[in-house]
Structure formats: C-alpha cells, structure tokens
Structure 1
Amino acid sequence: MNDIPARLTVVTLGARDVGALRSFYRSLGWPEAPGSDDTWAGFLLGGVLLALYPLGELTAEAGAGGPPGSWSGVTLACNVDTRDEVDAAFAAALAAGAAGVAAPVDREWGGRSGYIADPEGNRWEVAWAGSARFDSRGALVSFG
C-alpha cells in the first residue's frame, strides 16, 4: 500500500451557519449522513462526503500555514484505513513537499487527523474515522 492512498473522501465547507446550509442541501434531496445536526452535517454524494463544519472551528484546525491569503475555507480529505496510517501519510506528504499546517492529533469525534497544505496552499486533511467504509476502488460508501 502507498503511504497516501489515491482517494478523495471528504470535501469540507467552512460554514458561517451550518443549520442554514444543512437545510439548503437537505432541500435538494441529498441523503444526509447519520449523526448530522446543526453543529456538523454530512451528505454522501457518489463516493465522497460533503461535510459542513463551522467556519471558525475549521479555520482553527486548518487555517494556518501555506502562502499568505491562501485559506479559502474549504478542505479536502484523504481518509486512510487505520489510525496509525494517519501519521505515516502525513509524513509522506511532508516528504513530498507539503507544508505542515496541523500535526496529527486524536480528535474529539473519535478519529485522528492532521492538515497539510499543498504548494498552492490548498488544505488537505489526512484522516482516519472508524466509521468510514470504502469499496474495492477506495470510494467512500458509508460514513457514520
């Protein structure tokens, strides 16, 4: 296995009002992930989770580092298969030229993750979530 699997599993939008944004996506008829509420919400869309997370909290986790002015309020995530793989994937990203934004830590939601910035400042979360399930191609099939 590669240290960083070639998969995009989560796109997180930093939301100023999670409840209002959640209502919008629900009104589109998109399937909401279990555990969603007005503090965090997710929608499983064709193998990728669209996550809504409070902008202030996302900025605290992922907003530092990278070129000045590069923080857009959006993160991309690559979920790995085990908790221990987070640190290996994070180290591999740094070795490939990524900038460390936030070292991997155990999160209050039960997973582990860290953030890197690619050379253009785009934020990637390298994460493990015990509830994430993938198909044989690495596409996310359930979360939560």
Structure 2
Amino acid sequence: MAHARLVQLAIAVPAAIGAALAAGAPALAYGGDTTPPTAPFLAYAQGYYCGVLIVGMNRATDNVTPQSQLTYEVFIDGAPFGPAVDQGSESGVWAWFQPSTGGPTLTPGQHTATVKARDAAGNWSAPSRSWPVTGYRC
C-alpha cells in the first residue's frame, strides 16, 4: 500500500520582490521590465464636424513586449481621450472617435493631440510630438 507524505517547502523571496508581488506590480510578470516603449510618431490628427477626431501614428517598439501587444492612448490637451487600436495594418495605428457611436467628443475650438504607447508591464512611453487639432460644432 502506498503511503502519502506531506512535504513542506519554503521559498525565500527577497523583501523587495515580496512587497512588489503583494502590491501587484505588473513589471515583475515581464522579467522586471521597467524600460518604456519608444514614443509613437504621430503622423496625422484632424478634427471634423460634430466632434469627430481621427488620429494616425506609426507603431512604437519595446525591448520586451512584442509590437502587436503594445497599446496606445490618445491625449487631448494632456488629458486621456481614448484608446487607439492597432489593427495589424502596415499603415500604422489609427483611432477614429465618433460621438454618434458613443465615443468621446472633441469639443469646439483649438486643441493639442499627442499619443503614448504602453507595454505589457505598464510602462508608458514619452508623448509623441504634438499636433494641433480643431473641434467643430454640428
């Protein structure tokens, strides 16, 4: 008859790593990645009638996260506006914000658009170059 033995195992974890794990630090899941992606190159931004905004950029790169897994956020006047989605197209990453379909509205007037990339560890790139955009009323 086989006998089961209970073996107790202790793993020593340095205090800094244990504290980071307890805090849910995402960088540890990616080998301690603390290097941000390169800033995306904002190539196009234009405001349209009724608060529509279209933004296009070249992809960023990262030292750990594959390019297809980077995420992008559009900022208007320094505030988060909405995500840009990489569709895997050779033409880069595009975002089309249309208020009539529930998207955010580019308010009338002059604004500045920038974009940042984020890697899987949660590191944000520097902002892209800024691009002036105009919001138009309906």
Under TM normalisation by the shorter chain, which class is it? under 0.3
- Structure with greater proportional helix content: 1
| TM-score calculated relative to the size of structure 2 | 0.26
**RCO higher in structure (CA 8 A, sep ≥6):** 2
| TM-score calculated relative to the size of structure 1 | 0.26
